[in-house]
Amino acid sequence: MEEYFKRYNEWLNNPIFDENTRQELESIKDNEKEIEDRFYKELEFGTAGLRGVIGAGLNRMNKYTVGRATQGLANFILKQGTQNKGVAIAYDSRHKSKEFSEQTALCLNANGIKTYIFESLRPVPELSFTVRELKCTAGIMITASHNPPEYNGYKVYWDDGAQIVPPQDKQIIEEVNSTEFSQIKMMSKEEAVNKGLYIQIGKEIDDKFIETLKSLVLNKEVIKQVQDEMKIVYTPLHGAGNIPVQRVLKELGFTHVYVVPEQEMPNGDFPTVSYPNPEDKNAFKLALELAEKVDADIVLATDPDSDRLGVYSKDGNGKYVSYTGNMSALLIAEYELSQRKEKGILPPNGALITTIVSSDMAKAIANEYGLKVYETLTGFKWIGEKIRQFEENNSYSYQFGFEESYGCLISPHARDKDGISAVMALCEASAYYKTKGITLWEQMLNIYKKYGFYREGQISIVLKGADGAAQIKSKMDIIRSNPPKKLAEFEVLEVRDYQNHTIVKSNGEKLETDLPTSNVLYYDLSDNAWCCVRPSGTEPKIKFYMGVKGTNMEDAEQKLSELTEAMKKVVE
């Protein structure tokens, strides 16, 4: 009998698992492929936590896999002796988010760990802010970010408000992996409340979070100057951004904010989109229809947990055009840094943090404003780790950080991507440029003219299930063992392998990488180009990133197209 059938039968017959779970599993008894997918592996508690399809089974998000993760985290916290500092818990609009958050709290409470739990959905950046504000030992966000509706997830944050990184991540993973389902402790909500372990939070933290964001605005007066003429369309894509975004924009004085009515209310089915992701142009369909109707200056969307921001604005012909995550982040960076410099508040030891797959224009902008540049691996947790190191070493002053996947952070008030402050900063920037007689798109073009025509692209290959996981591993092995010498017209100058910690230059010289171990291959190419390959950490995908620099926009687009086609051939 296959191993996955043994696991399936154990779940069917073990009294630990409740009747609802058994009934769900009984319903698939004749579907071998489904049984295999649910039981061929355990839902892995990775370096960011859990993420998976909701349902009964080992490889699913359910109260048992969530309970096991929480019990493992509780064991770790108890060994650290920091249980009295408490854990903050928030959740977004996904199915089972509220139930998983409550279960998480009561499991921690049963282990004697105090929890601060929001009474309704909140965005990721507010959870990160809350961990810092309440001086918690950890934070947990129940979310699957921008994944399809059938997914949910469980992200763990440490006491600095950033997602867990080494050594905590590995130590927590060890605790989770050594925990049995039978060891999950639970407590009734009534008992937890009576013992002062279950503490509900909300308005007071909301007020502090919004006030903190408002204090970051650099030019409040420009908002008043254009408040009667500037029009903003916003969609929370049925997620957690709706209330905080509307509130902060209103309190800053933006009077014409139009929220897409069909997408305003939280809904875990995400009924108006196939994929609640602001990176996906299809997610903007209703927002763009509303923008045409009201003649909006800018069109904005945040994902369900509101850490990502997608942007459209009008070009010179009055047509709405999309911004990549790199473009919107660089636009915000240029505005924030130029204004801080103008006001004399840009420190001499400032730093900008980006990732190895984000636009190289970041380095040009940092150079313009005298900032030190740090590159990290993909994932905002590495940016959060750098901020903590700056503070511990009293070395650099964090000024801006971003990654190409539509996320940035304009100040260290939080330690994860913050779509709420990004909305605020972009609206402020748009107002500022409007007072100067230029649109946001014209400013984007000005940035290209100032720094160079950098263009970036990405392609993904989706490979689901057990077979897909094997194919992803196989493709990475093949690419790793056969490094290209040339991609399109670009010479490969060096190959960086972050899994094996090697840098091999075209002349044969070998060096060591200086970033943590990760299954990532990076190619530094001639003519200011680059590309990178890695499996996604949160989805069944292998991802390819490319970047070029052209003499003008057409030249950059042509180079990007050629490099993209060359990368596709690498995996055929």
Catalytic site residues?
Answer: 145
Distance, in Å, from the CA atom of 331 to the CA atom of 321, rounded to the nearest integer, reads 15
Distance, in Å, from the CA atom of 534 to the CA atom of 259, rounded to the nearest integer, reads 36
End-to-end CA distance of the chain: 35
Distance, in Å, from the CA atom of 280 to the CA atom of 293, rounded to the nearest integer, reads 22
Distance, in Å, from the CA atom of 340 to the CA atom of 439, rounded to the nearest integer, reads 21
DSSP β-ladder status, 372-376 and 453-462: unpaired
The sign of the CA dihedral 168, 174, 178, 181 is positive
Contact 128, 157 (CB under 8 A): yes
Distance, in Å, from the CA atom of 479 to the CA atom of 161, rounded to the nearest integer, reads 36
**List of residues 6+ apart from 116 with CB closer than 8 A:** 86, 87, 88, 89, 130, 134, 136, 199, 201
Number of helical (H) and strand (E) elements in the chain, helices listed first = 19, 23
Nearest to 306 by CA among 252, 236, 379, 243: 236
Encoding tokens for residue 120?
A: 């309704």
SS3 380: helix
A 10 A CB-CB count for 23 gives: 10
Distance, in Å, from the CA atom of 538 to the CA atom of 133, rounded to the nearest integer, reads 28
Distance, in Å, from the CA atom of 268 to the CA atom of 469, rounded to the nearest integer, reads 27
Check residue 164 and report its DSSP letter: P
Nearest to 518 by CA among 279, 172, 176, 165: 165
HEC letters along 94-141: CCCHHHHHHHHHHHHHHCCCCEEEECCCCCHHHHHHHHHHCCCCEEEE
SS3 276: coil
Packing angle of the helix pair 97-110, 63-80 (nearest 10 deg): 40
The sign of the CA dihedral 235, 238, 242, 244 is negative
Beta strands in 356-484 (DSSP E): 372-376, 397-403, 407-409, 453-462
